[in-house]
């Protein structure tokens, strides 16, 4: 490259959106439908589930039989990327942990998630224990948007009337699978509440929507759906918005920074194209950031200027701070009573069929807040790892002849054991509230750049006693439940030596909170509309604005807040304020 | 869009469930797909390049090692009245691929195979492959039962656990293996809950 030149377009777009996931996708969809001309920058390639999904492929169609060698969740999972991406490093401060999952592709991380779609509750927005900062908005402020998201995208579930697990507008949930019925029965006996799952999968036709198909129960939402029966930001938001002619997507556009003028107003975005490695700059009247909690913070911190010497929208100094993932721990085993079970198609829907919302009162516990439990099990498509560790299982129960035998083995008898054990597995995973703390943060590593020359993030995150105690409680609940079911635990049993199996921060892929909203510009980066205090034509629509996450998965709240912000932008445009 | 339209969008005609099931099955004549196509939908470029590189890579295992793996695989999963053996399902070829794909398997597999040969040499003055069928089974019996392991045999147990797991992975992810298991999913259907006869079998009608 002899002459490095930034290719500057003269067009001024109404809105430029960075990112095409749940947040960027919703804002883009809303504005494009309202007639606004939107340019969307996506850091990865285009992805249309109708063409690109690996749905209904058989394990032998992958040379590695679906192993996760090149893709974090295996060859058939829809999500590109993972915790490590060649040429795009990040660093961690000494003695801290954080694993950063990135999915650079149209739809972002909505390509991976389990479609579990939970609203945050009144106490998640306005806490009653005084432990964390409150949001500048309440559940009642967000409820109308949750309702609209439910109607627009579709979510199954049951009305339960629980105070902090608000009901939505639900489609019919799928019935439990066989192992899940055992879970349900045993949970009731030990006082753990189990209700129908809440997932964004169309178990019924979505009223008023002609473009999306209905679920045909392959259980493979993780691969994304060829008939658009589950929610992906690509199929449900971006692609429909493109059809209006108002939204254009530039793929492989890796954003460097947001450009501001001398007065500090955002004027555009600069990016490098992954394919041709040329530098580009586009102009915008309004910039919407939805690159994911950590990436959006990175972009703001890298957008330094005379007007914004501390990074864009960062006069408060909070950008990057308060990053928090959900807590996570799990345990699994098998149900001896299901050995030699009769075969039938048990794939079901690709989101959870049942789950346990948080059911206890913290007054009696030694940790704050709580967690929900996601359950799984049943006769699923075999893939790499099938039958693994059978020598830890087949010696624990009587063989076909009624007698116990030594574990392990080989030959016809072993071959029969694989058949006997098929579909007997049960697993459970807790997902809990981690406390947002200013001392957990990401920042720009002053010494490291990625392959595009963009300074990278350095994470500084440690769990506290609160999260570890929560994980301990999860494990005790899982043990009690598996015991009550008569299950034999086969996964690693955790204890104090490994923080009760508490996953490293970032492993649950629910990181939020890096560009928090608030009423006080000294303590927050965004106002209650997710508009930057320091830059009025800059908005953030991913999970960065979250003040404090509940135990609920972030997606449904991202969608509701993004819709709310898009509506606000539309109103402000009418008043010519942005 | 209703379910019928969903299936149409998939390119499936809703005639009867039987026809539907047939339509979703891959033809028996189709070989196990080892060759990645030039440009596969939904794959990143680096993934396709990685697969191509592995496919064209030099063999990892020697012919002797492959012969040993083949015999071991068929001892672990032999042909029976229900289905073929590990080698019928091309498990040795899968193991050759997977150790290149997941290199952490390489040292334990290579070392384990040599450990096995050295044991056989000491015991029978023959390699595992050239030992008699009876000797092979005697040797395998000594390393196939982790809880009954005799002193000095632990390395063999670790190796055999890995070999057993790889054989199971390789076998039950083929058409032969999936059919053997009786797995009937991975096809469009309507989930209406656990069938009543099964609910009754486990006394779960009222859960």
The mean per-residue pLDDT over the stretch A368-390 comes to 97
Taking contacts as CB-CB distances below 8 angstroms, the residues of chain B near A418 are: 168, 172, 181
Strand partners, A441: A321, A460
Query: pLDDT per residue over A521-560, tens digit each?
Result: 999 999 999 999 999 999 999 999 999 999 999 999 999 9
Share of chain B above pLDDT 90, in %: 81
Widest distance between CA atoms in chain B:
70
Quick one: which of A321, A245, A258, A296 has its CA closest to A108? A296
Mean pLDDT of chain A: 97
* Distance in angstroms (rounded) separating the CA atoms of residues A518 and A319: 12
Strand partners, A427: A332, A376
Confidence (pLDDT) at A578: 85
- The arrangement of strands across the sheet holding A441-449 comes to A91-92, A455-460, A441-449
Cα A501 to its chain centre, rounded Å, is: 20
Confidence (pLDDT) at B3: 67
* Cross-chain residue pair A56–B186, CB shorter than 8 Å: yes
Query: pLDDT per residue over A214-269, tens digit each?
Result: 999 999 999 999 999 999 999 999 999 999 999 999 999 999 999 999 999 999 99
C-alpha dihedral (A176, A179, A180, A181), degrees to nearest 10: 80
* Distance in angstroms (rounded) separating the CA atoms of residues A359 and A368: 13
Neighbours of A133 (CB within 10 A): 16
**Residue B130 reports pLDDT greater than 50:** yes
Element (H, E) at A240: helix A239-243
Query: pLDDT per residue over B94-109, tens digit each?
Result: 999 999 999 999 999 9
The long-range contacts involving B7-12, CB below 8 angstroms and separated by at least 24 positions, are: B7/A216, B7/B188, B9/A50, B9/A213, B9/A226, B9/A227, B10/A56, B10/A216, B10/A226, B10/A227, B10/B188, B12/B188
Confidence tier at B114 by pLDDT (50, 70, 90): very high
Tokens of A98: 């954080």
Query: Least CA distance to B79: which residue of chain A?
Result: A412
CA distance A237 to chain B (A): 17
CA distance B32 to chain A (A): 6
The mean per-residue pLDDT over the stretch A362-380 comes to 96
- Whether chain A has a CB inside 8 Å of the CB on B140: the answer is yes
Element (H, E) at A539: strand A535-540
Taking contacts as CB-CB distances below 8 angstroms, the residues of chain B near A346 are: 185, 191, 194
* Cross-chain residue pair A409–B144, CB shorter than 8 Å: yes
* Distance in angstroms (rounded) separating the CA atoms of residues A27 and B202: 49
The mean per-residue pLDDT over the stretch A103-108 comes to 98
Closest partner residue to B185 among A47, A86, A345, by Cβ?
A345
**Residue A462 reports pLDDT greater than 60:** yes
Tell the residue number behind the tokens 């198909």, with chain if given. A213
Chain A, 317 to 376: residues with Cβ < 8 Å from chain B are 337, 341-349
Confidence tier at B7 by pLDDT (50, 70, 90): low
Evaluate whether A147 touches A169 at the Cβ level (below 8 Å): yes
Count how many Cα atoms sit within 13 Å of the Cα of residue A221 in the half-sphere of its side chain: 26
CA distance B152 to chain A (A): 18
**Residue B39 reports pLDDT greater than 90:** no
Mean pLDDT of chain B: 89
Output DSSP code: residue A46: -
The mean per-residue pLDDT over the stretch B183-200 comes to 97
**Residue B29 reports pLDDT greater than 60:** no
Confidence tier at A194 by pLDDT (50, 70, 90): very high
- For the question of an ipTM over 0.90, the answer is yes
Query: pLDDT per residue over B131-152, tens digit each?
Result: 999 999 999 999 999 999 999 9
Confidence (pLDDT) at B14: 44
Query: Least CA distance to A79: which residue of chain B?
Result: B42
The mean per-residue pLDDT over the stretch A339-357 comes to 97
* Distance in angstroms (rounded) separating the CA atoms of residues A296 and A393: 46
What b/e sequence results for B190-202 when a residue is b if at least 16 CB atoms lie within 10 Å of its CB, and e otherwise? ebebbeeebbeeb
Residue-wise DSSP of A397-465: S--TTSS---SS--HHHHHHHHHHHTT-EEEEEEEEPPPP-TTSEEEEEEEEE-TTSPEEEEEE----H
Confidence (pLDDT) at B12: 60
**Residue B20 reports pLDDT greater than 60:** no
**Residue A573 reports pLDDT greater than 60:** yes
Q: Which CA distances in Å does A373 have to A174, A194, A355, A486, B68?
A: 17, 9, 6, 19, 46
Confidence tier at A119 by pLDDT (50, 70, 90): very high
Share of chain A above pLDDT 70, in %: 99
Evaluate whether A463 touches A502 at the Cβ level (below 8 Å): yes
* Distance in angstroms (rounded) separating the CA atoms of residues A39 and A16: 5
């Amino acid at each position: 490259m002899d002459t490095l030149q930034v290719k500057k377009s003269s067009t001024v777009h109404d809105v430029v959106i960075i990112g095409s996931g749940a947040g960027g996708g919703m804002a883009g969809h809303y504005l494009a439908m309202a007639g606004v001309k939107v340019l969307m920058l996506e850091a990865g390639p285009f992805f249309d589930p109708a063409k690109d999904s690996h749905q209904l492929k058989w394990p032998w169609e992958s040379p590695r039989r679906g192993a996760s060698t090149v893709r974090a969740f295996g060859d058939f999972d829809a999500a590109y990327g993972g915790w490590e991406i060649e040429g795009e490093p990040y660093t961690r401060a000494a003695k801290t942990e954080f694993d950063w999952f990135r999915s650079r592709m149209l739809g972002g991380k909505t390509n991976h998630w389990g479609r579990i779609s939970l609203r945050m509750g009144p106490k998640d927005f306005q806490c009653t224990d005084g432990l964390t900062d409150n949001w500048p908005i309440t559940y009642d402020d967000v409820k109308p948007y949750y309702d609209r998201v439910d109607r627009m995208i579709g979510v199954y579930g049951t009305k339960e009337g629980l105070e902090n697990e608000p009901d939505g507008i639900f489609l019919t949930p799928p019935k439990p699978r066989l192992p899940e019925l055992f879970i349900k029965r045993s949970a009731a006996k030990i006082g753990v509440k189990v209700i129908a799952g809440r997932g964004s999968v169309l178990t019924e036709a979505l009223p008023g929507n002609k473009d999306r198909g209905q679920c045909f129960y392959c259980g493979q939402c993780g691969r994304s759906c060829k008939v658009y029966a589950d929610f992906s930001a690509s199929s449900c938001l971006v692609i429909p918005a493109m059809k209006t002619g108002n939204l254009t997507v530039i793929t492989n556009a890796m954003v460097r920074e947001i450009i501001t003028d001398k007065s500090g107003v955002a004027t555009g975005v600069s990016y490098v194209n992954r394919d041709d490695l040329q530098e580009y700059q586009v102009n915008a009247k309004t910039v919407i950031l939805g690159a994911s909690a950590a990436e959006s913070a990175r972009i703001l911190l890298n957008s330094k200027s005379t007007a914004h010497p501390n990074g864009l929208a960062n006069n408060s100094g909070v950008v990057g701070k308060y990053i928090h993932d959900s807590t996570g721990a799990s345990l699994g085993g098998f149900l001896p009573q299901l050995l030699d079970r009769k075969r039938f198609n048990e794939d079901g829907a690709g989101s959870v069929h049942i789950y346990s919302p948080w059911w206890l009162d913290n007054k009696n516990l030694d940790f704050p807040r709580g967690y929900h439990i996601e359950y799984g099990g049943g006769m699923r498509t075999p893939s790499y790892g099938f039958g693994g560790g059978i020598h830890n299982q087949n010696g624990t129960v009587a063989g076909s002849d009624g007698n116990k035998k030594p574990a392990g083995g080989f030959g016809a008898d072993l071959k029969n054991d694989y058949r006997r054990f098929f579909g007997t597995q049960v697993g459970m995973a807790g997902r809990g509230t981690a406390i947002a703390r200013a001392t957990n943060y990401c920042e720009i590593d002053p010494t490291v750049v990625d392959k595009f020359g963009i300074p990278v993030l350095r994470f500084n995150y440690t769990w506290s006693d609160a999260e570890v105690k929560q994980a301990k409680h999860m494990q005790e609940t899982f043990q009690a439940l598996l015991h009550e079911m008569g299950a034999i635990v086969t996964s690693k049993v955790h204890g104090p030596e490994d923080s009760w199996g508490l996953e490293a921060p970032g492993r649950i892929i629910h990181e939020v909170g890096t560009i928090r909203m608030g009423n006080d510009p000294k303590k927050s980066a965004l106002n209650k509309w997710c508009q930057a205090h320091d830059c009025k034509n800059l908005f953030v629509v991913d999970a960065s604005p979250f003040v404090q996450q509940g135990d609920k998965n972030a997606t449904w709240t991202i969608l509701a807040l993004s819709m709310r912000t898009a509506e606000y932008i539309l109103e402000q445009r009418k008043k010519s304020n942005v | 869009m209703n379910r019928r339209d969903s299936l149409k969008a998939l390119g499936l005609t809703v005639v009867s469930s039987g026809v539907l099931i047939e339509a979703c099955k891959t033809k028996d004549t189709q070989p196990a797909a080892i060759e990645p196509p030039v440009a596969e939908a939904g794959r990143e470029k680096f993934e396709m390049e990685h697969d191509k590189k592995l496919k064209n890579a030099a063999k990892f295992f020697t012919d002797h090692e492959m012969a040993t793996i083949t015999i071991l695989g068929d001892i672990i999963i032999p042909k029976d009245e229900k289905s073929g053996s590990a080698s019928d399902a091309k498990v040795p070829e899968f193991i050759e691929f997977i150790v290149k794909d997941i290199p952490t398997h390489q040292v334990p597999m290579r070392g384990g195979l040599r450990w096995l040969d050295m044991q056989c040499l000491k015991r029978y003055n023959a390699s595992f492959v050239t030992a008699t069928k009876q000797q092979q089974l005697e040797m395998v019996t000594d390393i196939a039962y982790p809880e009954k392991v005799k002193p000095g045999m632990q390395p063999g147990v670790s190796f055999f656990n890995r070999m057993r797991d790889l054989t199971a992975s390789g076998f039950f992810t083929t058409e032969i293996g999936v059919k053997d298991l009786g797995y009937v999913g991975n096809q469009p259907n309507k989930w209406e809950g656990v069938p009543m006869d099964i609910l009754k079998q486990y006394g779960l009608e009222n859960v």
